[in-house]
Structure formats: structure tokens, C-alpha cells
Amino acid sequence: MEIISRVCLGLVVFILFSQVILNVAAVINEEQELDRITSLPGQPPVKFSQFSGYVTVDEQQGRALFYWLTEATSNSVTKPLVLWLNGGPGCSSVAYGASEEIGPFRVNKTASSLYLNKNSWNKDANILFLESPAGVGFSYSNTSSNLLDSGDNRTAQDALVFLVNWMSRFPQYKYREFYISGESYAGHYVPQLAEKIYDYNKATSRPSINLKGFIVGNAVTDNYYDNIGTISYWWTHSMISDATYKLIMKTCDFKADKSSEQCDKAVSYALDYEFGDIDPYSIYTPFCKPNNNSVGSVRLKNTLLRRRVSGYDPCTENYAEIYYNRPDVQRALHANSTGIPYKWTACSDVLIRNWNDSATSMIPTYKKLIAGGLRIWVFSGDTDSVVPVTATRFALSHMNLTVQTRWYPWYTGGQVGGWTEVYEGLTFVTVRGAGHEVPLFEPKRALLMFRNFLGGKLLPSKS
């Protein structure tokens, strides 16, 4: 009888425990379902699932970050999770990454509907777009001073908290292969978040974030080498005169915390009188003529040589502003549910002007993460003059990495797609003919690069 009683007791405990598990799963599924996007206004039919909404990262100050997950077009349960971050600091991953670059949809000219991007990165991975930090896009803070004191450190910490909390809501992605990607000032965001996760994983007995590596493009990396490389690009691409080049090199101390009045005047002269009416984010393509309503006006004068603004300024940015300010679109995205007291914009000028802390160099972080065994790729569109290929090459050359595979041209469609060199712990890739937003200008080449990154494969040579 005693044995039977023990068996019965064990069975009861098992049933109760199973019921608790089922209840927890039901709550989790309910949370996910609340975030499910059934369809966006004007969206073509798709077979993959989408979710969007808010994740609180600071209860006390009321900071919440907005995300948009587009699951893989096939076999989503077996494919990795990739987080995409745009830079600025202060620019939206919904505006750029999702709507112009790697997302599944593009906004049409009238902002009345969406059409499919044939080279979307969710063909190969589940893509998670995050508007970060609070104050960018739909992400918000109930503490208004947060918009005036944002910086690198809090942005990285909030992004880590977001991921931990988001994976509690989406436990199917816990322990999934995870990568981080982005561009421009995300040259800070991406490695800084990778370092936060790396340290978090080391301090956690069973870490839930299975970070494998990151890929970042036209990345702000090191203030000194970036600035030297940028001025060199301007001069070698005939954008400025010999006299202005010499004057900038003479008057600008790129190692100083602040630029001198003489340096500012020299740079302003180059931008105002020598550049001409070109798009500095893509120097060989036509630019969208700015108008009074343009949200993407190029903010070079206040940001070059200190901070770089993420975001190409084609007219598609204007279409995105109209679309994402539509109430029906916001309802479909579960966005702006708290009534943010400002309209959605591609970039936040308030955050850009008031950025609080910014690392002078990411080189030490790269070295730490290379030693930690992460897969790291750095790519560069070669027609960008804001964070140009020369800037990236100067910075990388001072990491003193050992070459594994020497510089060679890589091919796609029988044409040179760019050039690449593989070092111990890092792969560098140029994308031929691409501007600041590489997947916007060269979507096929960008997708091939992304696939090879995920697969840990060399880019194809002609042979």
C-alpha cells in the first residue's frame, strides 16, 4: 500500500507540475499572440510570421524599446536569429534596415502600400529590427531627460536587457544561433552589445543568448583613423581641392576632443562650396532634392569629424515617414500605444545633438571579441564618403591582425562584387558600387555576403 501511495503521490505532483508548465506556456503564447502582426496596410500576402511591440528595459524610468520581428520565409525554426541595428546615433532600424535595406517590404511612392524586397535577409534568417535607444522611432521613455542624456553605455545595457526580456517572451529563440548586424554608428552599437552579451554569458551558468558573431557595415570604428580616412577619401575622389585638403590636415587635430575654429571653417568650406549638390552617402548616384518636409536631410555639417549620421537620404525615406505616421499602420504594428508626444521620424535630431558618451575607439573591443572566438565580418560600400572604405581600412590596419587569405576580388553573377581579405578572427569585405546603405544599393551582393557570413564561408573567387 505504501508503494502505491508513493506512486499516486508522484503522479499527482507530476500532473500539477505539468499543469504549471502548460499555464506558463499559455501565458507566453498569449504574449506572443498579442504582438502578432496579422497584416500591415497595403501589404502583399506572405507566408512568414511577423511580430512587433514593446519590451520594457527600465521600469523605474519607463523606457521601452520597439521591435519588429520578421521570421524566415521557410524553415524558421531551424534558422538563426539576427538582430539589426541602425546608427545615428538616433536613427531608426524600421526606417532604414527594415524599409530600405534588408527587410521584406518596401514602401511605395505614395506611401499607400508595400511591395516585396526580392533580396530580403529573412530568406536566410529570422530578422529582429530594434529601434534603439529610447527616443528613436517608436521607442520611448517616460523620463523626458533620457532624450538628453543618452549615450553608448546606456544604449548597450538597454539592448542587453531588451534581449533577455524579449527571449523570455519568445523562448523558442533561447539558445538559437544569434548574430548582430548593423551599419554606420552601429559600428559602436554592435560590438558594444556583443561585448555586453559576451560578459553576460561568462557570468551566467546557462546563458540564453547563443551569440556566434556579428557583421557590421560602413562602421564608425576609431575617431582618429576614421577622420583621417574620410578626408583622404574626399581628396582622392576629387571632392575637395588640394588647398582645402592641405588646410584641413593642417588645422584639424583629429586626436583632440573638440575641433578648432579653423578646422571647422575648413570643413564647412569643403561641404558648402566644394562638394556641390551630391549625396555624400552615395557620391555617384542622383540625390533626392530636399524639401521643407524632408526628414532625411543630410546632417553633415554638425556631425562629420565627430559623429556620423546613419541613413542615406533618397526619397524613400520620405515615403517611410508618411507610412509609419499613419494611424492604421501604427495600430497594425502595435506601435505608439502610449501616445508619444512627437511624430515618428527616421532620425531623432534631439538624440543626435545631445549624445552623452561615445567611445573614441572600438579597436580594444574588437580585440577582446576576436580573442573570445566570435565570427566577425566588417564590410564597406565603396561609394560612401561619410564613413568611407578608407576610414575602415585605416582602422583595421592598426589592429595588426595576421592575414589568413590575401586580398582578392570576389564575384557574383560573373562580375566583381568587391574585394576581401581574411584575417585571424576577422573578415573584411568591400562591396563594389554600394553607398552607405550597402543592401539598398547592391541588394544581391549584400545578400550573398550575408549568406556566406552565416555559413562561415569565403566569398567566391572567379575560379
Task: Determine, yes or no, domain membership for 13.
Answer: yes
Q: Find the distance separating the first CA and the last CA of the chain, reported in whole Å.
A: 77
Is residue 1 very low, low, confident or very high in pLDDT (cuts 50, 70, 90)?
Answer: low
Residue 92 known to be catalytic: no
In the numeric block, the cell 592598426 is attached to 398
The model carries a pTM of 0.89
Task: Determine, yes or no, domain membership for 20.
Answer: yes
- Span 247-281, pLDDT tens digits: 999 999 998 888 899 999 999 999 999 999 999 99
- Rounded to whole angstroms, how far apart are CA atoms 288 and 296? 10
Helices 242-251 & 223-236, crossing angle to 10 degrees? 170
Instruction: Please identify which of the residues 184, 348, 380, 385 carries the catalytic annotation.
Output: 184
Task: Determine, yes or no, domain membership for 16.
Answer: yes
| Nearest alpha carbon to residue 58 among 137, 148, 132, 129 | 132
Is residue 297 very low, low, confident or very high in pLDDT (cuts 50, 70, 90)?
Answer: very low
Residue 436 known to be catalytic: yes
3-class DSSP state of 258: coil
What pLDDT is stored for residue 313 in this prediction? 38
What pLDDT is stored for residue 24 in this prediction? 38
- Rounded to whole angstroms, how far apart are CA atoms 147 and 141? 8
Q: What letter would DSSP give residue 93?
A: T
Task: Determine, yes or no, domain membership for 18.
Answer: yes
Task: Determine, yes or no, domain membership for 199.
Answer: no
All 3 cell numbers of residue 97?
534596415
Please, what is the Cα angle at 258 between 256 and 264, to 5 degrees?
110
Instruction: Please identify which of the residues 99, 141, 384, 385 carries the catalytic annotation.
Output: 384
Residue 222 known to be catalytic: no
Instruction: Please identify which of the residues 132, 226, 259, 436 carries the catalytic annotation.
Output: 436
Domain that holds residue 11: 1-35
- Rounded to whole angstroms, how far apart are CA atoms 171 and 382? 40
Task: Determine, yes or no, domain membership for 9.
Answer: yes
Task: Determine, yes or no, domain membership for 23.
Answer: yes
Is residue 316 very low, low, confident or very high in pLDDT (cuts 50, 70, 90)?
Answer: confident
Number of domains in the chain: 1
Inter-residue contact 172 to 128 (CB < 8 Å):
no
Task: Determine, yes or no, domain membership for 48.
Answer: no
Whether pLDDT at 369 is above 90: yes
126-131 vs 403-412, strand pairing mode: unpaired
